[in-house]
Amino acid sequence: MLYFAYTALITPERLAQVAPTAEFKFIAHLPEWGLEFPINDDDWGGGLPSVSPTTGSTVWGAVFEVPEGEVDLVKKMEGEEHRAATTIEAMDRTGKRHQVTTFVFDGKKNGGYTPSSKYLLMMLRGSRHWSLPAGWIAGLEEHLSAAS
């Protein structure tokens, strides 16, 4: 499975816990999709992320090849955070399009929640590790400032 990671699983240490042999492939973004926080999670102390179609926005992430034997573990981890697998088109930095699997909130939206600071810090660590664009990182930092 080509997995587009934008959640806490973008952090190498966290992904290694569920998919230790997943292989980094490339950086990509989801054009016309935006980041939101529709999932309230008491364990994390705030809102967890999802993506949704949003005109004029983009979501950046890292794409990994997850071996068949580890796909169910990724699905389980994302499912525990109320996201379900969705096939979507991502674009790499050269403009090439790829069919990837990402995970989107699968519940009824009741508005947005203040993001979990702990969760955002993991997203930031992973985003910096994979050298995602400065504008994406700045946006995550703004969410973190609002959450603190």
CA 25/CA 65 separation, integer angstroms? 7
Q: What is the pLDDT at residue 21? A: 98
Q: What is the pLDDT at residue 41? A: 92
Q: What is the pLDDT at residue 19? A: 98
CB distance 93 to 25 below 8 Å: no
Mean pLDDT by 10 residues, the chain (148 residues): 98 97 98 96 94 97 98 97 97 98 88 92 98 97 86
Q: What is the pLDDT at residue 82? A: 94
Q: What is the pLDDT at residue 108? A: 78
Residue ranges of domains in the chain:
2-147
Q: What is the pLDDT at residue 107? A: 82
Q: What is the pLDDT at residue 55? A: 97
CA distances for 9 relative to 18, 51, 68, 85, 95, angstroms: 9, 15, 17, 14, 24
Q: What is the pLDDT at residue 65? A: 99
Q: What is the pLDDT at residue 14? A: 96
Q: Assign a CATH topology to domain 2-147.
A: Hypothetical upf0131 protein ytfp (3.10.490)
> Phi first, then psi: what are they for 72, rounded to 5°?
-60, -35
Q: What is the pLDDT at residue 44? A: 94
**Model pTM?**
0.95
Q: What is the pLDDT at residue 111? A: 72
CB distance 48 to 41 below 8 Å: yes
